[in-house]
Structure 1
Amino acid sequence: MPRPPKAREALLAAYRDLLVSEGERAATMDAVAARAGVSKGGLLYHFKSKDALAEALLAALREAAALDRERMAADPEGPARYFVRTSVNSGTDMDAFFVAAVRLAQAGHESALAVLEEMDAAWLELIRREVPDPAVATAVMLMGEGLYHYSSLAGTWPEKTFGTSVGELLAVVDRLSGRAADSTP
């Protein structure tokens, strides 16, 4: 597949970054073009509408999520530990695309909501292959989702706020999934 033009990449990054930093209402076509340093005509050459920008953003998120699921499925520690261990927002492109998609979903963008639901279902399916108890698999999923949520906020989560490290959460994953003997009497 040929590499997309730099202007297209810059426009998509500008749209993503505006969604993350200022929200869906601020991510106008004019604001995207200005932030990318591209003329409005250049923007319209690559993206005919704001919906086209959103669809390109969601396609990039789907691609990043597919690569993440491949890594998750192949992780030697298993999908459950991988999911929780990597559920800290570390500022990757996938993190930025994910947060941008959440902003779109919050604004009522149905395709964004569908992509987010699709991603969650695929991650949960991988966890369920390893952790057959549906309630435990869901608890692991929600642990990772909560970790991601709090790490996406400004502040000092997890250690300073809750007094819990990711390593300690992984030990809980092991206990819940039966990978480690329960240490409680």
Structure 2
Amino acid sequence: MGRKPTITRQQLLDLAEEIVRTEGAKALTIDALARAAGISKGGVQYSFASKDDLVRALIERWTSQFDAMLITDETSSPADLIRSYIRAMRASQPAMNAKMAGLMSTYLQDPDNMRETRQWYRGIFERLGEASAEAQTARVAFLAVEGLFLLRIVGIDEDGTWAGFLDDIEAVLERLLDVRRQ
């Protein structure tokens, strides 16, 4: 019978996120996480066999939290989906800074992770795939929000401009939808 773990997988993920936030994605190692948790390297590897497993778990955690914030269903209009997407981006802002987004770069180096990410995006584009003017406007707004997300990797939000850029995208989306309704 083995020893009962003194720290949970979720606690390790919390500490891993903190390491990435404060020191950057490169600083996240099994050794660094073990030090932060006050346990042995083997203790971390009990929950995460490798750094790749740890990064995958962080990305899966973030993705599931983000998806839970997307308050839509399959019958939502393309514009409503993008409005919800922008709200989810705003809500995730405190938790996802440029350093955390940079972790995506490491994650996407694995072909299986790349396939999962492509599949997630394909699902979004299928929902935005109508030929309508509203769907076209929503697709452009989605691409703008995703471009802004990727710019966070290079530190676009160091001076707090992220929310203002999201405001711009949202305002243009609404303006274009209003014009198309007239």
TM range (shorter): 0.5 to 0.7
Residue equivalent to 2:89: 87
Comparing 74-83 and 42-51, the one that deviates more? 74-83
What percentage of residue pairs aligned between the two structures are identical? 22
RMSD: 3.9
SS of aligned partner of 2:160: coil
Which residue matches 1:119? 120
Contact kept, 8 Å, 2:56 with 2:107, in 1: the verdict is no
SS in 2 for 1:25: helix
**TM-score, structure 2 as length reference:** 0.67
Judged with a 3 Å threshold, the aligned counterparts in structure 2 of structure 1 residues 116 and 153 are, in CA distance, closer, same or farther, namely farther
- Displacement of 1:29: 0.9
Structure 1, gaps ≥5 residues long: none
Deviation for aligned residue 1:30 = 0.5
* 1:157 equivalent in structure 2: 161
8 Å CA contact 1:11, 1:32 repeated in 2: yes
Q: Which residue of 2 aligns with 1:46?
A: 47
Given candidates 147, 165, 179, the residue that maps to 1:181 is 179
Deviation at 1:79, TM superposition (A): 1.0
Relative to 1, partners in 2 of residues 1:32 and 1:109: Cα closer, same or farther, differing over 3 Å?
Answer: farther
> Whole-Å Cα distance in 2 between the matches of residues 130 and 82 of structure 1?
20
List aligned pairs for 1:1-185, cutoff 5 A: 6-69=7-70, 71-73=71-73, 78-88=80-90, 90-92=93-95, 95=96, 99=101, 101-105=103-107, 108-128=109-129, 135-149=136-150, 153-157=157-161, 166=167, 168-176=168-176, 178=177, 180-181=178-179
User: Do 1:127 and 1:137's aligned partners in 2 also have CA atoms closer than 8 Å?
Assistant: yes
Residues 13, 58 of structure 2: 8 Å contact kept: yes
Letter in 2 for 1:54: V
Question: CA separation of 1:129/1:42 partners in 2, compared to 1, >3 Å: closer, same or farther?
Answer: farther
Task: Please tell me the residue identity of whatever aligns with 1:118.
Answer: Q
Cα deviation, residue 87, structure 1: 2.8
Q: How high is the TM-score relative to the length of structure 1?
A: 0.66
Q: Which runs of 5+ in 2 are unaligned?
A: none
Aligned equivalents of 1:159, 1:8: Cα separation in 2: 32
Is the Cα contact below 8 Å between 1:158 and 1:165 reproduced in 2?
A: yes
Cα distance in 2 between the residues matched to 1:104 and 1:165: 26
